[in-house]
Amino acid sequence: DRAIGGAVNIITKKIKSDKIFSGSVAVIGEGDGSNKESLRLNLNTGKIRSYISGGNNRKEGYRDNSELHAYDFAYYIEGDISKNSSLSGKITYHKDECGLPGPLEMADMEENRKKSKYMSDFAKIELKSAELQHVYDIENFEIRNSLVVSEREKKYLMFNKYKGDIEGKKINFISEGRYKAGKNSIIFGTDCLNEESKDGSEKTNKKSLEGYVSDFYKLAESLEINGGARTGVTELEF
């Protein structure tokens, strides 16, 4: 929602190592002074699997006031409730700050293509989220129930003139099932959302409920057809 040119969905790797303790460390330095560090530690006791990770990313940028500094942290834990079900939880935190150098005219580029007209322009983003998920899985049937609570805050100054201070909170419940029967692979589910956002004195509240079903039918080894339907209702308050 509100993605202008697309969206990026980051899915962290599952813990595959048979070792009780494992992990990785990375340190990267670049000639312009940029640097990046990351750390990940895994714990796998068989019935309980968890990891903790953190990262720091600093980019100097090519132009004046184009620096980027980002921090990331995540903690994940998953445990088996029974032979066919598991429960997991995840906490993530992200913060980044960057400068906004702004556009240049041809005369500015001929003078110094690295310059910035707006040395005080900036953007800051802070994201927090917590997710709880239950998975029930047997041979031909799987159902996933997820509850995600997230907060975001964004502040910016553009062209030394336009200021923004945006805050948002979101609660999202998703229930999705997958069922295989013969040549059919059926996916069905519901998506419930309650989102509040504030931009200065303007407040928006969004509530939505959606349902969907889709069937992939295999006609041959390398050919299948897909049909489905999705419906929903959304209420907006300004």
| CA angle 202–203–207, rounded 5-degree value | 150
What is the spatial distance between Cα 46 and Cα 43, in angstroms, rounded to a whole number?
9
Report the mean per-residue pLDDT for the chain: 92
pLDDT over 70 at 2, yes or no: no
pLDDT of the residue at 120: 94
Which band of pLDDT confidence, cut at 50, 70 and 90, is reported for residue 17? low
pLDDT of the residue at 131: 97
User: Each residue of 126-172: pLDDT tens digit?
Assistant: 999 999 999 999 989 999 999 999 999 999 999 999 999 999 999 99
Largest CA distance in the chain: 69
Closest to 75 (Cα-Cα) out of 25, 126, 34, 128: 128
User: Each residue of 60-101: pLDDT tens digit?
Assistant: 999 999 999 999 999 999 998 988 999 999 999 999 999 999
